[in-house]
Amino acid sequence: MIDNLVATNILEAYRSGLLQRTASSCRQHTFGSLLQATVSRRIGLRERLVLRKVWQGSGKGLVFVEQGHLAEARSHFSQARDLLGSTPATSECRLLARSVLEAAEAYLDYKSCDFPQARTRVYVSMDADLELELIYSYDLLQVHRLQSAHNLIRIDFREGAFERAFCIAGGILAYLSGLAPAVPLHYAWCARTLAECPRYLLSALADQVTQDVAIALEKFTDAVCWKSFRHFAAIDHLRLDQPVPGSGTLEWIALKEAFLAGDYKGYLLKVPRFLAKGRSGNPALWYSSILDVLEICGISGDQTTSAASCLRAAILRDSSSWTQLPLGLAPRLKRYRQVLESVEGSRRVGHEAIASDSPATR
């Protein structure tokens, strides 16, 4: 399956990709700055000040959640909620505050392993977004709803609802690609207003979703999960020229499809082109493809002398200097390194035994 030519092509592509510099991202407006600019044009100064305090409280709460200080985070969220409840404000202002605050508190619930409450808060945030979209024409908030749908994927993975998570992930990618009229949750999705949203925000979202899928497949490789993902992602309708947002999303899906179907020959023919493009944009997809190459190498021949084993050894010796490797991919890499160490250890023992039995040592 892996002869010298195939191994050379893959190794050259891998090393070329490894040397590719990460593309420097030009300064672009964040979702938050775009939303603030929209708010400043539509809401009066007094209400903007209230909204800013609520958003700042939510932001501080998120920082404490990230640091693991959940009690402090809860205190900031509570203060922001009390401020909103005690201050006169229009419905538009309250919806904007609720959208951000509920999404932030959902993260606290997620970290506290209160998954039902986290899911409830996410839907409350999405309801606020939708009302703002439909009544007040905040088209940009459809991006926030999609991000919330992505957060539901993460909640489902943590809670153990794997098939549902893969369904939502596939649905988001199909919707972003124009292959589905809606995401398979919530309601009133609108492809027309989505087309008006900044493309780079949608690409970043697609990268996040595919990264989570790539990492999740390290644990949940059963056929049902991939079948659910491929169905909702409308993989059978994807074309090479499909305008799919994200960095290498379409190529990675095609590669993973071949790998999981056991089409290793087809995979090995396609993967060099993907690897040569480098890690820029979505390192998880690049590294997961490298790990799949290593898996095929282990299937393709003996552990010591074949072209496959030589390719595997060359890549694994490089792996100690890898950067941007997602933590979720590290366990598989560790297993492959242990196999290599075991093989090389056995080889050293064999060489020592031969040397000790040679006439020169008698």
- pLDDT tens per residue, range 166-208: 999 999 999 998 889 999 999 999 999 998 899 989 988 999 9
Specify the pLDDT at position 234: 82
pLDDT over 70 (residue 25): no
Task: Please state which of the ranges 77-86, 286-295, 342-351 shows the lowest mean pLDDT.
Answer: 342-351
Predicted confidence (pLDDT) per residue in 58-103, tens digit: 999 999 999 999 999 999 999 999 999 998 899 999 999 999 999 9
By the 8 A CB rule, do 166 and 112 touch? no
Distances (CA, A) of 171 to 197, 209, 226: 18, 10, 13
User: In this structure, is the dihedral angle defined by the CA atoms of residues 108, 112, 117 and 119, taken in order, positive or negative?
Assistant: positive
User: What is the DSSP secondary-structure string of 23-75?
Assistant: PPPPP---HHHHHHHHHHHHS-HHHHHHHHHHHHHHHHHHHHHHHT-HHHHHH
Tell me: pLDDT of 300 over 80: no
With residue 266 as reference, give the H or E element that holds it.
Answer: helix 264-276
Are 105 and 121 contacting, i.e. CB atoms less than 8 angstroms apart?
yes
DSSP, residue by residue, 182-247: S-SSSS---HHHHTTS-HHHHHHHHHHHHHHHHHHTTT---HHHHHHHHHHTTGGG--TT----SS
- Alpha-carbon separation of residue 315 from 1, 88, 291, 318 (angstroms): 18, 62, 10, 5
Per-residue model confidence (pLDDT) at position 224: 79
pLDDT at 349: 47
Over range 348-357, report the average pLDDT. 50
Identify the band that residue 218 occupies on the pLDDT scale cut at 50, 70 and 90.
confident
Q: What is the rounded average pLDDT for all residues in the chain?
A: 88
SS3 159: helix
266 residue type, one letter: G
Q: CA–CA separation, 202 vs 195, rounded Å?
A: 10
Between the alpha carbon of residue 166 and those of residues 17, 190, 203, 217, 314, the distances in Å are 29, 22, 19, 10, 34
Rounded CA separation 55/317 (Å): 47
